[in-house]
Amino acid sequence: MAIIAAILVIGDRSPQIRDALEDQLREILQTQQARDRVGGVAHVIDGDTLDINGTRIRMFGIDAPEGRQTCRRDRSDWACGEASTDALVKVVDRREVRCEQRDTDRYGRVVAECWNGNRNLNAWMVAEGWAVAYRQYGGAIYDAEEQAAKDARRGVWSSRFDMPWDWRKRASGS
């Protein structure tokens, strides 16, 4: 902000100083943009977490069943947490992914929306029923995708299940 204010104050009175300040501002903005984007070959950690070149990325606005979490369908349990992870593996499968940072979580992970080509992976996971909309953090961003998955009984919506945040709370004993 100080650089922008200085550019405005200096105006045309000192073109060399103004140009130097504008160059500094461009450099700061480019550095910020680079920090806000992560791209490369993605490795799936679980249904809502990726690793790109050593950067852990928590997918914004979604929550997927945990790896050990089970769901109940036709009077038997099935490994819905593993199925969620497997679904993301199949769509990402060590392909190029780009993520745009929205936040940083309490564990230091980048919280981001991620794309494989033109496919928004966050929205895809919810629309296919492999993750739920995480309204506590993403608001209503994926409500339409979740409703479509529910209506079509896709993924976890084909069964009875605990919301991932409730399952984690119960599993940790809190």
Q: pLDDT tens for residues 3-50?
A: 555 555 666 677 666 566 665 655 544 444 445 899 999 999 999 999
From the list 22, 58, 75, 113, the catalytic residue is: 58
- 131: exposed, middle or buried (Cβ count in 10 Å: 0-12, 13-18, 19+): buried
CA atoms within 13 A on the CB side of 16: 0
From the list 109, 113, 145, 146, the catalytic residue is: 109
From the list 13, 26, 66, 72, the catalytic residue is: 66
Is 66 part of the annotated catalytic residue set? yes
Residue 138 near residue 125, CB atoms below 8 Å: no
Token readout for 16 is 């060399």
Tell me the whole-structure pTM to 2 decimals: 0.79
**Residue range 116-145, pLDDT digits in tens:** 999 999 999 999 999 999 999 999 999 999
Distance in angstroms (rounded) separating the CA atoms of residues 165 and 158:
19
Best CA proximity match to 49, nearest among 34, 68, 35, 63: 63
